[in-house]
Structure 1
């Protein structure tokens, strides 16, 4: 999952960056509204965290402009302002939820996780698909109730596919959603991770749960 984190308090920004990367998110950062707007329009994020009190362009304006350009990924706003009018303004601009500073990073993680799940039509923290189960809160993956250990990038790919079961997902899309902005986007690496997922989650090749569509990408098979 790839996130945009917009926060001009560099201490808080680095604290959140560390927390979110530890939770297997790929995180792009911005410390003013101008950079945030550019990045928010340039990339297809899974979610954005945007502070309202930003230099150059305020957070509410950034959100309005993103929504006006059909960027529909979930947005969680952060605000040090305790007036209810400021929170309403952020929500009316197009944000999906808000947190008032100071806050516990665990609450931010939980709200962010819930927003991403809801945007993919998943209400529960546990996503099930036949013998496969993925817990978005604990980052645990199991097959037939047996826990399987995945690397960070393997987990990111499988989580994205579990949130988009039955959809054709290109190598480029997978690459953009698991790496941050500084990574050299070599989609051939995705083939390696897909191969590892097949080996770890379907060692005897009885499930054939990831379908390869030549020239298009991959599709996670939906199990009844």
Structure 2
């Protein structure tokens, strides 16, 4: 009996192509190689896109730093020191008027959320100062900081009962310093005095001797400031009565 022997080479077909089994096998190898190549190329593209995105972000941060260096340095300092966000309380705004002028309106603007305004007040009378009802609201930082300054603007009329003569009408501005106040407060006050003078304070039960609402501020009070007439704003106010 003769032994069965495998052929030394796969027979060629009449068309000169590989048999279907071997061609499918080699096609499978080629396909897998292509898939691995595509996956590798895709990964490289993703890495390239990530690097491009990172470069764009770094460029944007650099531009932001150049435009607002002060803000970024503040943020860095807070982050490095672990500073907590400042506590700001909401408070009402009121006013007292010890002058003979009518105060039609007033407003304050400043740092740390201290922005607000108050209602109108009549002139002082024998029994005491004119007083404005409370208006909402102004931010009052929980912790007082030295040299906290605000800009106050007010409209006063020295002839409030003369409806034809508006020569007493003027808008004044001043930079005022907020006196020290305690942790427990009860609102913000603007106090108007004769001679276009003004003082502001945060009521706190007079914890430091400068915030007593029951006593008219002394003339030598270091927190009293004289206002300056703003001609442009005065002209706008006068136009309302024309």
TM over 0.5: no
Relative to its length, the structure with more helix (as a share) is 1
> Which structure: larger Rg?
2
TM-score normalised to structure 2 length: 0.20
More RCO (CA 8 Å, sep 6+)? 1
